[in-house]
Structure 1
């Protein structure tokens, strides 16, 4: 089992394309990373290292998951927001760094 990576991408400002490319490459090149997807908050993939089918799965499902998690957090404690989500499955670990405009999704072994 690989060591968990630290993923914390602050998307509070608009990134230039070159900055997104740099962050994407750094994340993708980390040991144990299976793939990276960057989506809009609506779920449209902006950048991915996965094939089209896998990209669409992650983009669609992560968007829905984050919307539900945000809603639940706000119901529990009004004023709170989702800042990071980390899940482990039998096969992978999925880390999501959401923002108003983007979702960064990293999948690792």
Structure 2
């Protein structure tokens, strides 16, 4: 089942414990939990197809996580910015709108 062509994923004890806690914790975002499970399965010597089949993930997803993790460690599991239209509103504008909505009463309003 092992594939000698694959770059081995070596986890320190601290990394393994962190990934296991992310994979098991109920409050972890499911995307992060799945990515943690994928990285945890890689040191077992399984190839990408086996990991994908056992975890219900795509082969490309497993390949991507296997190659990203050694280079960037825990940061490799974070979601990357998605392509698309850039934001038209800044964080400051969002904060201002939230404060105005929650703390000010509109003229003639009762909330």
Q: TM-score, normalised by structure 1?
A: 0.32
- RCO (CA 8 Å, sep 6+): is it higher in 1 or 2? 1
Decide which structure has the larger Cα Rg and report it: 2
Normalized per residue, the structure richer in helix is 2
